């Protein structure tokens, strides 16, 4: 993988794991098991209800360091 960042740098999330043996469907930035999940994720995103990665990081820190 090659990442070329701009003047302000870049943030990347790389996920790897064992194959789960379930179907995968993708559309835009979303990956899900079926079309219904894609539509649900898309709606969460459009409604502003999908958390930012930085928020997830803070939530994780609060549960592991508190």
Find the length of the chain: 66
CB atoms within 10 A of CB 42: 16
Question: Could you say which DSSP state residue 6 is in?
Answer: B
* Distance (Å, whole) CA 23 – CA 12: 25
What's the whole-model pTM score? 0.52
Identify the pLDDT of residue 33.
92
Q: Give ∠ CA 9-58-17 in degrees, rounded to 5.
A: 75
Identify the pLDDT of residue 35.
93
How does pLDDT run along the chain (66 residues), one tens digit per residue? 788 899 988 888 777 888 888 889 998 888 899 999 999 999 999 999 987 777 776 555 556 654
């Amino acid at each position: 993988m090659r990442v070329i960042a701009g003047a302000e740098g870049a943030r990347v999330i790389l996920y790897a794991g064992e194959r789960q043996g379930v179907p995968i469907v993708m559309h835009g930035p979303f990956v899900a098991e079926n079309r219904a999940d894609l539509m649900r994720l898309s709606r969460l995103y459009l409604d502003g209800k999908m958390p930012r990665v930085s928020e997830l990081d803070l939530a994780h820190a609060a549960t592991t360091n508190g």
